[in-house]
Amino acid sequence: MDLLQGLNDAQREAVTATEGFVRVIAGAGSGKTRALSHRFAFLVNELGILPGNILCVTFTNKSANEMRQRIRRLTGDNDTGYINTFHGFCVSVLQEDSHAVQYPKSFLVLDNGDIDAMLQIIYEERGLTLRDMTFANARDMIEIQKLSKRPDYYRDLIALPLDILREKYEQASSAEDIIFFGYLYQQKKCFGLDYNDLIKFSLYIFEEFPELRLKWQQRLEYIMIDEFQDIDGLQYQLMEVLCGYHKNLFIVGDPDQTIYTWRGASVRYLLDFDKAFPNVKTILMTENYRSTPEILAAANSLIDKNRLRVKKSLLPTLPSGEPVRCCFADNQAAEAKYLADTVQELHKRGVPYREIAVLYRAHYVTRALEEALIEAKLPYTIYSGVQFFDRMEIKDALSYLRLIAYRDDLSFRRIANVPKRNLGKRRMAFLQEKAEEKGCSLWQALTENLDDPIFKGTGAQRFAALIEDFSRSTEERPVSELLAAVLDESGYETMLRTEGSQERLDNLAELKQSVYEYETTCGEEVTLPHYLNHIALFTNADTGDPGDRMRLMTVHAAKGLEFPYVFLCGMNEGVFPSRKVRSLTAMEEERRLAFVALTRAKKGLFLSEADGRNFDGSPRYPSRFLLDIDPHLLEFVQPPDAGLLEEAREAIEASLRLLPEDEASLSLPVGQRVRHFLFGEGTILGEDRDKGAHIIQFDAMETPRMISFRVKLERL
């Protein structure tokens, strides 16, 4: 197979530029995945590089799976090296070198459900309630602590004995400290690592053990990173370490699609790559194979208004198509009706519903829309309700597998009494007490106390025998077979049949199918721990809803996807861009997000907004992003009102004058002394980010005041 055949000049250059530091600026729809997979195959087939010496990083498991399949087709080899997310690669590092952090190879990768189960234990033990902190806020707090406030936490997690961590937890008094140290204790107890830990622990190993660092550096002769605009500080550090020996680093990204700065991503890593590394070769890929010239012209016109970018325009390769349509509706109901009517028109033309996506900035936009779709009897699915791997029956099934593999407390608590085995609160409290006395797991406490009278008349004996039997046969049985057998023999599926839960049974059938497909596409023997770590790394974006339904989703959820027809609705000031935008830098990110939305469309693009009034009675203005697009590139459903447009432009201009360059300049630390031009001197007590205001106690006032970020305060 000629791997260079059918590639354009820029793609060919990217594939053959194998040595040194290479940066590819690849526009939306420019065939970067094709270039990456062909480059991997070129290294293997033409240069003779072993797949196990190549690391290819993607940002979702879905992308990694797609990349593996493409490469397998190109190389004809089941060995596809390390094609992973950053977190997935770190799992490989830790499984191989876990001894360096005194962890077993069978550590647990924790997802949000596991973290919530740990929080539940902590809240019960220390008498906390959701009034103290919701689980979602607790998870965010733990992440902030780990990333910024206590960045060295991992050293405690590695070095401190379990009883010292327990002590720290018991001595903590504030809700924040109780939750944080309680979580570290629970983590250590079951050798569980969350996403932050995976990278932190890997960096620790590379920092503290030069021989292990050198082993991995020498092994990874070529490193390729996709979606480089999404990389965060820790991932960047990891990359720097890994390429330190062979110095072969190939990155692909698009600064115009940086939309995750709130998660730590920075467009600067991509823009300044040539300043950070020597002799960087930069390749521009601008030929677009996805969208019609009309769609690209609108997208180019929009993104050109950003300052922080590499100047480039997407070049069309497809023939001309339909104009980009824009609807200025009288109100939200009229906007929703326009959308429903247009969808019906498309469907009459032979367009399946599944080829249509409706995108929006935030979920609350869908209320009027859903009403119109239901009224018109149009089939749709919202692409982020309860996702597949978060469903109760799926979590239960995976907990059975985890208990078989790891004997961990979280899985035990979840399924010991599912289906009912008479192992309720009293007996679980008994096991908890025994486990604490002996410093062992709940599973061990159960197996050592099966003869205790408290378990008479329960299903404890049968449950223990079931798990032990399956544990002994994990080596000989494929995971798909093991899963089917445990769901049958445990009585779990019988319980669902008795309840008449057909939907849940269908979900379990889907899970079995997905395990089987994973086994057949993996290209190597899949062990139970291997599968469990793979599944724990799944994100919401990796699951979808099949069938002939149009899909409704946020623009963030649509990143990396494409659809023949795209509707982008709710294009109003305060909606898109969001009213939470507090700086010019953040406004540029919003515009990049709008650009991502436009470039999801292949054949047809429909933009809409709704006039009228907001909840507070203020007028609704069209989004500045609609006004950013040259009006000659749009076909208006009805001509917009010239007076309204003028009014909107004035309001937008006024708001821009009030925006600072970036948010860092807004934030003042607690305790900072300041001077207000009228209220005089005062002290910063805190801030409310949602409202965009500091909370200040002025010396001359009895009570604190909320002062908008927009007002200039003199630091003292």
Phi-psi category of 265—alpha, beta or left, where left has phi over 0 and alpha has psi -120 to 50? Answer: beta
H/E segment holding residue 113:
helix 112-126
Place of tokens 């985890």: 402
Residue type, 585: T
The catalytic residue positions are 32-33, 226-227, 257, 600
Contact indicator for 603, 564 with CB cutoff of 8 Å:
yes
Rounded to whole angstroms, the Cα distance separating 582 from 692 reads 7
Rounded to whole angstroms, the Cα distance separating 612 from 657 reads 25
Question: What distances in angstroms separate CA 77 from CA 81, 126, 538, one per listed residue?
Answer: 10, 54, 25
Contact indicator for 520, 326 with CB cutoff of 8 Å:
no
Instruction: Report helix, strand or coil for 221.
Output: coil
Q: What ranges in 98-209 are assigned the alpha helix state H?
A: 112-126, 135-144, 153-159, 162-171, 175-190, 195-208
Token duo for residue 112 = 């949000």
Rounded to whole angstroms, the Cα distance separating 408 from 284 reads 49
Contact indicator for 285, 32 with CB cutoff of 8 Å:
yes
Percentages (nearest 5) of helix, strand, coil residues in the chain: 50, 15, 35
Q: Over 241-273, what HEC string results?
A: HHCCCCCCEEEEECHHHCCCHHHCCCCHHHHCH
The one-character DSSP state at 462 is H
Rounded to whole angstroms, the Cα distance separating 327 from 346 reads 16
Q: How many residues does the chain have?
A: 716
